[in-house]
Amino acid sequence: MPIQKVSVVIPARNEEATIGPVLDELNAAIARLPRYRFETLVVVDNPRDLTIGVAQAKGARIVLNPRAIGKGAALAAGFLQSTGDAIVIFDSDGSHNPRDIGLFLDALERGAGLVVGSRVLGGSDDHNVIRLFGNAVFTLMFSIVFGTTIMDVLNGYKAFVRNVAVGYRHKAKGFDCEIEIAARAIRQGYPLVEVATHENKRAGGKMKSRAFRDGFAIMMAVLRQGLAYRAWRLCHWRKPNK
């Protein structure tokens, strides 16, 4: 797919300690990709620190998330305001490397509809036993239900064509948004591709995810989206011509 404009959507809830360096790295990466036009949207909800001022000083456009109820809701608010042919999402805590953005865009240009950054391929400095186990279990569940070979569906570093994120009502409010985005891409018939990207330790601030609460929401999202996908496949199934 030819891409002219890229929207980078970054959810940032009280991340004044990390958003500045993240945007500095992003701006440096953008400077190395002159064939694209970029817009950077930082989505903030219920700000209690200087995240907005720091992000604006680095050239980002601020999107306020009026619902203020999680990562999924923040991303949905950002998608609604985006104008790019392709959308890239990553976290604001410094765990993802903006310099890898070219790898994601190259994969989209080669025909992928959704590109997932894989910590299985690229490694992680921020995984503990609980996160490793949960990611492995939920990714396996997702792969079985949807018939994919994706190894790291929960990684928040993703890129996708605009149709994957725009034009429907997002139901995922929290970290289950990773499942919703991937399921949406599959249901639209887009190829899924993984690229190796390394995950750093959080550079500062506080982790927003909670293992058991968010793990339950993710598990339910896999089951819900999987059942919907199977039902959709059944409704669209056609017998071969004799």
pLDDT tens per residue across span 78-134: 999 999 999 999 999 999 999 999 999 999 999 999 999 999 999 998 766 677 788
Tell me the pLDDT tens digit for each residue of 9-36: 999 988 999 999 999 999 999 999 999 9
Position 70 in a domain? yes
- Residue 240 maps to a domain: no
Order of all β-strands in the sheet with 114-118: 61-64, 37-44, 5-11, 86-89, 158-161, 114-118, 192-196
Length reported for the chain: 242
φ/ψ of 168, rounded to 5, equals: -150, 165
Position 184 scores a pLDDT of 94
Domain region containing 191: 5-235
Number of H helices, E strands in the chain: 9, 7
pLDDT of 62 higher than 50: yes
Residues paired with 168 in a beta bridge? none
The CATH number of whichever domain residue 208 belongs to comes to: 3.90.550.10
Domain presence at residue 242: no
More confident residue, 166 or 38: 38
Which strand (E) or helix (H) includes residue 75?
Answer: helix 71-81
Task: Give the mean pLDDT of the chain.
Answer: 90
Task: Note whether 195 and 104 are within 8 A (CB).
Answer: yes
Q: What percent of the chain has pLDDT over 90?
A: 67
Q: How many domains is the chain built from?
A: 1
* pLDDT, mean of residues 159-175: 91
